[in-house]
Amino acid sequence: MASPWTAPLWMKSNRQSVGGRLLPEYYASYARYFTKYIEAMARQGIPIYAVTVQNEPEHGGNNPSMVMNASEQARFVGKFLGPAFAARKLDTRIIIWDHNCDHAEYPLTVLRDSFANPYIDGTAFHLYAGDIAALSQLHNAFADKNLYFTEQWTSGDGSFDEDLRWHMRNVIIGATRNWSKWVLEWNLASDAQWQPHTPGGCDKCRGAVTIEEDDIVRNVSYYIIAHAAIAAPVGSVRIGSSMSEHIPNVAFRRPDGRLGVILLNDQSANQTICLLHQDQQITVVCPARSVISVIW
């Protein structure tokens, strides 16, 4: 999946890398940038499965960044980007929004646009504001469109155990129980000073791994994704599971036919859990304030 953070500066209202809007006279040119990028990557053997239209379109403070409101995004997708993909016979999916859970009306507005809707595969979310249940709001309104969770960072100043439990509860368990097809953590790797990043970019975004010369340290995002990778390898399907206030969980049918379950014990005492599926039953002990993944 690819995600632009800004259009070329000469296409923007302020001619700067931070903020500004895509000028309407350059909508067609910018759509061509997308198609040329996808085709160039394909020539290098890198297929682009999907693109989001704009990373965090309501946040104009990042470097780089670009502001794009819902009506602008709908027009760009419906009149320019979608038709450009169709003309070039590209099967790369178009994903809208790519921002927080506090403004579901934005993607709903774009999806209600009759020109944009046919070209849209689904909606992407972050969770720096709002509630993860916003994903289900989109699912209930447009069940034929996919949902994706595309970014959540862990801070260099964060706590391993608190970040692990928050991300498992809200992102891994929360997003998948609210119809998300995938979850992405931000970001992959950094050095001990949280580099590299753009000037004015995130200076505390902790990578899943910290790399210093020959030393590699696995950080909290590594283990967040490791639990998901164990319970739900590629090709898994989420299945129903009883939700407990004390033991948030999510269950999957894996491609090998086995079941994978992620369990979060956010309590201060160990919890003994009985897992039932058809005629199978197992008992597991969840240590206090921990996450476990079970496969059987």
Q: Which CATH number characterizes residue 148's domain?
A: 3.20.20.80
Please determine, for residue 284, whether its predicted confidence score (pLDDT) is greater than 90: yes
Please determine, for residue 165, whether its predicted confidence score (pLDDT) is greater than 90: yes
What rounded mean pLDDT belongs to the chain? Answer: 96
Residue 116 lies in a domain: yes
55-74 burial, b if ≥16 CB within 10 A, otherwise e? bbbbbbebbbbbbbebebbb
Please determine, for residue 244, whether its predicted confidence score (pLDDT) is greater than 90: no
Q: What would the mean pLDDT of 165-191 be, rounded to a whole number? A: 96
- Model confidence at 68, in pLDDT bands (50, 70, 90)? very high
Give the Cβ contact number of residue 35 at 10 Å.
Answer: 16
Please determine, for residue 259, whether its predicted confidence score (pLDDT) is greater than 90: yes
Residue 155 lies in a domain: yes
- Model confidence at 230, in pLDDT bands (50, 70, 90)? very high
- Model confidence at 233, in pLDDT bands (50, 70, 90)? very high
Q: State the pLDDT at residue 245.
A: 81
Residue 251 lies in a domain: no
Please determine, for residue 201, whether its predicted confidence score (pLDDT) is greater than 90: no
* Contact yes or no for 16/9 (Cβ under 8 A): yes
Q: State the pLDDT at residue 108.
A: 98
Q: State the pLDDT at residue 46.
A: 98
Please choose, from the candidates 81, 84, 65, the residue with its C-alpha nearest in 3D space to the C-alpha of residue 113.
Answer: 81
Residue 3 lies in a domain: no
- Domain of residue 69 covers 9-234
d(CA 143, CA 137): 10
d(CA 118, CA 94): 10
Residue 269 lies in a domain: no
Q: State the pLDDT at residue 204.
A: 92
Residue 275 lies in a domain: no
d(CA 124, CA 52): 8
Cross-strand pairs, 274: 283
Residue 276 lies in a domain: no
Q: State the pLDDT at residue 114.
A: 98
How many structural domains are present in the chain? 1
Q: What would the mean pLDDT of 74-86 be, rounded to a whole number? A: 98
The answer, as to whether pTM is greater than 0.75, is: yes
Q: What would the mean pLDDT of 8-16 be, rounded to a whole number? A: 98
Q: State the pLDDT at residue 23.
A: 98
